[in-house]
Structure formats: structure tokens, C-alpha cells
Amino acid sequence: MSVTTRLYTVEALMEMPGDEPWELWEGELQQVGGAGGEASGIAGEIFVALHPFVRRGTLGLLTGADGAYILARDPDTVVVPDVGFVRWDRLPGGIRPKGPIPVPPDLAVEVRSPTDRPGRINAKLIRYRRAGVPLVWAVEPDRRLVLVYVRGELVAELGDGGVLDGGDVLPGFALTVTEIFA
């Protein structure tokens, strides 16, 4: 006897009752756990550092931990990075969408938290790579490290004293790793 897994769509995800955050991985529901104080605070530090830079240059849409991005369709994949950024010129009409952002982010930030299942961050990194996300910062609070991925390839492991830069995505942006752990 075979078991059939129901595959959800972006539209079905948006109609789900309740406020619990969910992601879709190839149509399968994935519950997103709360980040906890440390991980949430680190994501907040990164958001606060990015916000004036993005706003001053009217560069695009910056999202927090409730910004959903569609990475793929049929089957649908929707992820909610801790911090995300997408350029205005990639958004239909150059405006904020009312629902999920219909394109992958240009920058995704994932902060490992105690509620993350083993392998969850790595599984998301694979999905970001498949979707062609240009820049991902994966933050490891316990190790005080930020892993920098450019187009899916690990290019740097930055510890205290290291400097995160926006690369081709946010040219001119810089943030020390020490600042995000302050």
C-alpha cells in the first residue's frame, strides 16, 4: 500500500488558517519554528544595518522573518529567510507584492537557532542554490561565524573581525561580523 503526500501550492499556503509560519518545500508543508532571542536578535542587527543602506539608495525590498519568497513553481517552493532582499527591478511593477514575493531573493540571511532541525539550514541552502540566489549569509551563532555563499558556492567563513560585504548584490555595503554579535 502506498502513501500519498498532499502537495500544496502557494495559493493553498496563503489560505491556511492561523498565524503559524509555514514554508513549502517542493509542495510539502514545513513548519517554521520561532527563532528564540539570540537568533532573532542577530537577524534584527543585520536588518537594522541593511535598512538605511537599502532605503538611501532606493535599491529594493528588505524583508524580515515573515517575508515569504517563491523559489520555484510546480511543485511550489516558498521560503521565509530571517532577512531577505530583492531589487525593485525584479519585482513586477517595481512594487511590494501583497502576498509572497514572486521571485527568489537577491540576498537571503539564515540564522541558525535552537529550534532548527538538524540539516534544515543546509536543505534551505540547496534550495537557494537551485533557485539561483546570488548571495546567502548563513549565521552560526554558537561558532560566531558567518558562512558566505555566492551563487551556491561557499566563498568565505567570517569570524570576529571579518567583514560582510554586499558583493554584486549590494555594492558598497559592509558590516563587521563583530557588530552582528554585539
In tens, the pLDDT along 63-114 reads: 998 899 999 999 999 999 999 999 999 999 888 998 899 999 999 999 998 8
Q: What is the CATH number of domain 33-67+78-180?
A: 3.90.1570.10
In whole angstroms, how far apart are CA 176 and each of 58, 75, 142, 158, 179?
23, 38, 17, 9, 5
In tens, the pLDDT along 126-168 reads: 999 999 999 999 999 999 999 999 999 999 999 999 999 999 9
Sequence-distant (≥ 6) Cβ neighbours of residue 23 within 8 angstroms: 29, 30, 32, 68, 78, 79, 80
Is residue 59 within 8 Å of residue 66, measured between CB atoms? no
Is residue 120 within 8 Å of residue 25, measured between CB atoms? no
Phi and psi at residue 101, to the nearest 5°: -70, 125
Ordered by start, the domain boundaries in the chain are 33-67+78-180
Is residue 134 within 8 Å of residue 153, measured between CB atoms? no
Q: How far apart are CA 24 and CA 177, in angstroms?
A: 30
Stated pTM of the model: 0.92
- 3-class secondary structure, 158: strand
